[in-house]
Amino acid sequence: MPQIITANELKTKGVSILNEETSDGNEVIVTVRGKNRYVVVPIEKYNYLRECELEAALLETKRDIKEGKFVKESVEKHVKRIARG
Protein backbone atom coordinates (compact mmCIF):
# COMPACT_ATOMS: atom_id res chain seq x y z
CA MET A 1 0.00 0.00 0.00
CA PRO A 2 1.56 3.31 -1.02
CA GLN A 3 2.18 5.97 1.56
CA ILE A 4 0.29 9.24 1.11
CA ILE A 5 1.76 12.63 1.93
CA THR A 6 0.37 16.08 1.34
CA ALA A 7 1.99 18.74 -0.77
CA ASN A 8 2.29 20.80 2.40
CA GLU A 9 4.24 18.01 4.13
CA LEU A 10 6.54 17.84 1.12
CA LYS A 11 6.96 21.62 1.21
CA THR A 12 7.83 21.72 4.90
CA LYS A 13 9.87 18.52 5.17
CA GLY A 14 11.45 18.52 1.73
CA VAL A 15 13.17 15.57 0.11
CA SER A 16 13.83 13.98 3.49
CA ILE A 17 10.20 12.86 3.74
CA LEU A 18 10.48 11.24 0.29
CA ASN A 19 13.67 9.45 1.34
CA GLU A 20 11.97 8.23 4.50
CA GLU A 21 8.73 7.11 2.86
CA THR A 22 10.36 5.40 -0.16
CA SER A 23 13.10 3.66 1.84
CA ASP A 24 11.19 0.37 1.59
CA GLY A 25 11.13 0.65 -2.22
CA ASN A 26 7.46 1.55 -2.42
CA GLU A 27 5.89 4.57 -4.02
CA VAL A 28 4.54 7.66 -2.32
CA ILE A 29 1.41 9.47 -3.46
CA VAL A 30 1.49 13.24 -3.09
CA THR A 31 -1.88 14.88 -2.61
CA VAL A 32 -2.75 18.45 -3.48
CA ARG A 33 -5.86 19.90 -1.86
CA GLY A 34 -7.00 16.39 -0.95
CA LYS A 35 -6.63 14.90 -4.42
CA ASN A 36 -3.97 12.42 -5.55
CA ARG A 37 -1.75 14.33 -7.97
CA TYR A 38 1.73 12.78 -8.13
CA VAL A 39 3.49 9.49 -7.52
CA VAL A 40 7.11 9.38 -6.42
CA VAL A 41 9.08 6.15 -6.80
CA PRO A 42 12.70 5.28 -6.13
CA ILE A 43 14.77 5.51 -9.33
CA GLU A 44 15.39 1.75 -9.30
CA LYS A 45 11.66 1.07 -9.40
CA TYR A 46 11.16 3.71 -12.10
CA ASN A 47 13.88 2.11 -14.24
CA TYR A 48 12.28 -1.31 -13.79
CA LEU A 49 8.82 -0.01 -14.74
CA ARG A 50 10.27 1.80 -17.77
CA GLU A 51 12.01 -1.41 -18.86
CA CYS A 52 8.71 -3.31 -18.55
CA GLU A 53 6.98 -0.65 -20.64
CA LEU A 54 9.62 -0.86 -23.35
CA GLU A 55 9.52 -4.67 -23.33
CA ALA A 56 5.74 -4.60 -23.76
CA ALA A 57 6.08 -2.18 -26.69
CA LEU A 58 8.67 -4.45 -28.31
CA LEU A 59 6.42 -7.50 -27.93
CA GLU A 60 3.49 -5.58 -29.43
CA THR A 61 5.64 -4.47 -32.36
CA LYS A 62 6.86 -8.02 -33.00
CA ARG A 63 3.26 -9.27 -32.92
CA ASP A 64 2.16 -6.57 -35.37
CA ILE A 65 4.97 -7.48 -37.77
CA LYS A 66 4.12 -11.17 -37.52
CA GLU A 67 0.45 -10.40 -38.25
CA GLY A 68 1.33 -8.09 -41.14
CA LYS A 69 0.02 -4.99 -39.40
CA PHE A 70 2.52 -2.52 -40.82
CA VAL A 71 2.97 -0.25 -43.81
CA LYS A 72 6.05 -0.19 -45.99
CA GLU A 73 6.37 3.17 -47.77
CA SER A 74 8.69 6.05 -48.55
CA VAL A 75 9.33 8.80 -46.04
CA GLU A 76 7.37 11.25 -48.20
CA LYS A 77 4.30 8.98 -48.34
CA HIS A 78 4.55 8.31 -44.62
CA VAL A 79 4.63 12.02 -43.77
CA LYS A 80 1.64 12.70 -46.04
CA ARG A 81 -0.33 9.79 -44.54
CA ILE A 82 0.24 10.80 -40.92
CA ALA A 83 -0.33 14.49 -41.65
CA ARG A 84 -3.85 13.67 -42.88
CA GLY A 85 -4.63 12.33 -39.46
Q: In which order are the strands placed within the sheet that holds 3-6?
A: 3-6, 28-32, 35-40
pLDDT of residue 13: 96
pLDDT under 50 in the chain at which residues? Answer: none
Cβ distance 40 to 28 under 8 Å?
yes
Q: Kindly report whether the global pTM for this prediction surpasses the value 0.75.
A: no
Alpha helix positions (H), the chain = 7-13, 15-21, 43-66, 75-84
Question: What is the residue type of 70?
Answer: F
Per-residue pLDDT of 48-72, as tens digits, reads: 999 999 999 999 999 999 999 999 9
Q: Phi and psi dihedrals of 22, rounded to 5?
A: -100, 5
3-state SS assignment for residue 28: strand
